[in-house]
Chain A
Amino acid sequence: MKERILIIGAVAAGTKAAAKIKRENPAAEVVVVTKDRDISYAGCGLPYFIGGLIEERKELIVKTPEDFEAATGATVWTLCEATKIYPKEKTVKIENLLTKEETLFSYDKLVIATGASPFVPPIPGRELKGVYTLRTIDDAVAIREAVDRGSAKKAVIVGGGFIGLEVAENLKDKGVEVSIVELVPHILPPFDEEMALYAQNYIQEQGVNIYTQEKVAAFEGAEGKVQRVITDQRELEADLVVLSVGVRPNTALAKEAGIEIGTTGAIKTNAFMETSIPDIYAVGDCAETKHLVTGAPAWIPMGSTANKMGRVAAINLADTGKERLPGVLGTTIVKLFKLNAGKTGLSERDAKKAGYQVETAIVPANDRAHYYPGYREIITKLIVDKKSHKVLGAQVVGEGVVDKPIDILATAITLGARVEDIEKLDLAYAPPFSMAMASTIVAASVIVNKLMGKLEGISPLELKKKLDSLQIIDTRDEGSYLIGAIPGSIHIPSGELPSRIQSLDPNKETVLVCKIGKNAYLSYLKLKALGFEKVKILDGGIRAYPFELE
């Protein structure tokens, strides 16, 4: 008898699994059920549909159910909801949402791909018209219609994560006045604070208001329509609210069936994407995997991971091979107006939490040769384990090319590279593509210098905290110092350092500041030679210092 396979969920992971199973075992009967109308849609493209960059609804549909069936040989039941799994009987109860008819589907193998749903915090007024979440195409259509008919002129985005920021950009491009309210101290919560603040300053310069460490208390309105957002610190006018405070895995169906839920709150799976119950697999945003650096369970829902999970489950389930998904790094990237921000592996914060002794470097550089017109600045932060010298994580932000360095670093981390290995990588170089010493290599060199004790740095965050107790020397030229310098810093251009040494206190903790850190390093060597013991340089210099200058 041919195998019957049921897949619950039909966006990325579900459709990927279905298509791959049919390729591996064409004889199998594969049925995909979804309570939605659409399948296989580009969820990550929704913000750009709101902005109009993606013009029509149909462009978001990767495949219609009919196309998908024709292409893969799987069967799709839309507007059908799986309401209960009976693992002992190996059946699933399915309700047709149009006819309300219920059927019992017997499966040999089951794939749960129920995805994740936006978290809606219990804020009073969340039911008002004009308050949206963004997960489905219908959500995006509703938001865009509100903007296009002019009934949304002032928007408040609750949550400064990727989706919130992408929506902010797209609304701003449409002429909507946009404010973002974020609960934690900075936007882009997975990033380290100084890198996130760099992006935050940039977004504010584009005219988006950002309020951090602020809690939304209520939405208020009249005649059922939202008009104001009340936070614990202010009142913001709003005729459009987008709630983007994160998503939660849809695990109710699995939980009820007795399938084990992991520590992250998502469905526990092994490397084969098997759940705790035989013949039941879980893939996509509802499923857990491992973090490749720490080995700990990880739930980092991404379209890229969902597709890989679907493929791995399909091969194991079809029994045509043994495939593993070793885990993820949480590699991620976002475009914010003309700024790009990418991250892979652990942040400094997470690395310390996980018990690592870390060394870090923040290095501004260019994405291409500085004499090649059109180059842009990018800032690289590397996080390295002091003991093993292995790279634990990286973040890159800037107007320039960011995906290349992030992908280089994601690859390196996956393969267990030490920072010394990265420093010697033979990367593609010609002026239109890279600096002769690529930004990633320069950043690795800075860390290697630090690990060898050739140089000590202080992070922008630490400097800001200790501003009043430090002797801060700005070694830049007069013009640059005049334009903006760290409050309380003394201006001594590097050339004048030897002649003005008497004015400095050699016993005081001293920080050298320049534009990117290079000049300060030269001055650092001079001061060290002159008997200054407690000298550090500002990591990333003024370019990466995200706090106020005077």
Chain B
Amino acid sequence: MAEILLNCKGLQCPGPIMQVFKTAKEAESGDTILVKVTDRGFAKDIQAWCKKTGNELLELNVGETEISAKILKK
């Protein structure tokens, strides 16, 4: 069970979600992905993405300048 850190700060949509998509594809079931993003649209996108793909959104923190999300690969 690896914890994969993903720095997507500075990347604009769809950059972060593409990175998460790619990382999740390569990850093992049970791995967690911690992603940090500055793109505001990501907060909504990651919720929708997890719903559609069946992965679990463990944490979502929306700060003034940074959004972080923790995803459990199913």
0 or 1 for each of B24-68: is its CB under 8 Å from A? (1 = yes)? 000000000000001111000100110011000000000011100
B65 and A515 within 8 A (CB): no
Residues on A with C-beta less than 8 A from B12 are 366, 370
Contacts of A441-492 to chain B: CB distance below 8 A = 476-480, 482-484
Contacts of B1-25 to chain A: CB distance below 8 A = 9-10, 12-14, 17-18, 20-21
A370 and B49 within 8 A (CB): no
Where chain A touches its partner, the secondary structure class is loop
0 or 1 for each of A19-44: is its CB under 8 Å from B? (1 = yes)? 00000000000000000000000000
Residues on A with C-beta less than 8 A from B48 are 483-484
Residue of B nearest to A480 (CB): B14
Residues on A with C-beta less than 8 A from B45 are 480, 483
Residue of B nearest to A377 (CB): B40
A483 and B9 within 8 A (CB): no
Residues on A with C-beta less than 8 A from B40 are 375-377, 399
The reply on A122 being an interface residue by CB < 8 A is no
The reply on A355 being an interface residue by CB < 8 A is no
CB of A481 to closest CB in B, whole Å: 9
CB of A444 to closest CB in B, whole Å: 21
The reply on A373 being an interface residue by CB < 8 A is yes
Give the complex CA separation of A399 and B52 in angstroms: 27
Q: Which residue of A366, A374, A476, A483 contacts B49 across the interface (Cβ within 8 Å)?
A: A483
A479 and B21 within 8 A (CB): yes
Q: Which residue of B9, B10, B17, B66 contacts A479 across the interface (Cβ within 8 Å)?
A: B17
Give the complex CA separation of A368 and B9 in angstroms: 15
Give the complex CA separation of A373 and B39 in angstroms: 9
Q: Which of A373, A483, A543 has the most CB of B within 10 A?
A: A483
- With A399-B40, A480-B13: A373-B65 Cβ-Cβ less than 8 Å: yes
Give the complex CA separation of A515 and B21 in angstroms: 17
Give the complex CA separation of A376 and B39 in angstroms: 8
Give the complex CA separation of A377 and B39 in angstroms: 9
Residues on B with C-beta less than 8 A from A477 are 14, 17-18, 21
CB of B73 to closest CB in A, whole Å: 15
Residues on B with C-beta less than 8 A from A515 are 13-14
Residues on B with C-beta less than 8 A from A399 are 40
Give the complex CA separation of A58 and B50 in angstroms: 50
Give the complex CA separation of A282 and B53 in angstroms: 64
- With A376-B40, A482-B52: A370-B21 Cβ-Cβ less than 8 Å: no
CB of A197 to closest CB in B, whole Å: 16
A476 and B53 within 8 A (CB): no
CB of A241 to closest CB in B, whole Å: 33
Residue of A nearest to B52 (CB): A482
A478 and B21 within 8 A (CB): yes
CB of B72 to closest CB in A, whole Å: 17
B38 and A373 within 8 A (CB): yes
A374 and B65 within 8 A (CB): yes
Give the complex CA separation of A482 and B18 in angstroms: 11
Give the complex CA separation of A476 and B12 in angstroms: 13
Give the complex CA separation of A515 and B66 in angstroms: 21
Residue of B nearest to A205 (CB): B44
Give the complex CA separation of A478 and B25 in angstroms: 12
CB of A499 to closest CB in B, whole Å: 20
Contacts of A482-524 to chain B: CB distance below 8 A = 482-484, 515
Give the complex CA separation of A133 and B65 in angstroms: 39
Residues on A with C-beta less than 8 A from B20 are 479
0 or 1 for each of A372-386: is its CB under 8 Å from B? (1 = yes)? 011111000000000
A479 and B49 within 8 A (CB): yes
B17 and A374 within 8 A (CB): no
Residues on A with C-beta less than 8 A from B41 are 377, 543
Q: Which of A370, A478, A479, A482 has the most CB of B within 10 A?
A: A479
Residues on B with C-beta less than 8 A from A483 are 17, 45, 48-49, 52
Give the complex CA separation of A480 and B20 in angstroms: 11
- With A376-B40, A377-B40: A371-B13 Cβ-Cβ less than 8 Å: no
Give the complex CA separation of A376 and B14 in angstroms: 15
B65 and A479 within 8 A (CB): no
- With A373-B66, A374-B65, A375-B38: A480-B17 Cβ-Cβ less than 8 Å: yes
Give the complex CA separation of A334 and B9 in angstroms: 30
A373 and B9 within 8 A (CB): yes
A476 and B14 within 8 A (CB): yes
Give the complex CA separation of A476 and B41 in angstroms: 15
- Give the 3 A-B residue pairs with the shortest CB-CB distance, closest first: A373-B65, A479-B21, A374-B65
Q: Could you list which residues of chain B lie within 8 angstroms of chain A, going by C-beta atoms?
A: 9-10, 12-14, 17-18, 20-21, 38-41, 45, 48-49, 52-53, 64-66
* 21 contacts across the A-B interface (CB closer than 8 A): A366-B12, A370-B10, A371-B10, A371-B38, A373-B66, A374-B38, A374-B65, A375-B40, A399-B40, A477-B14, A477-B18, A479-B14, A479-B18, A479-B20, A480-B14, A480-B17, A480-B45, A483-B49, A484-B48, A515-B13, A543-B41
Contacts A483-B17, A483-B45 aside, 20 further interface pairs with beta carbons under 8 A come to: A370-B12, A370-B38, A371-B10, A373-B9, A373-B38, A373-B65, A374-B64, A376-B40, A477-B14, A479-B17, A479-B18, A480-B13, A480-B14, A482-B52, A483-B48, A483-B49, A483-B52, A484-B48, A515-B13, A543-B41
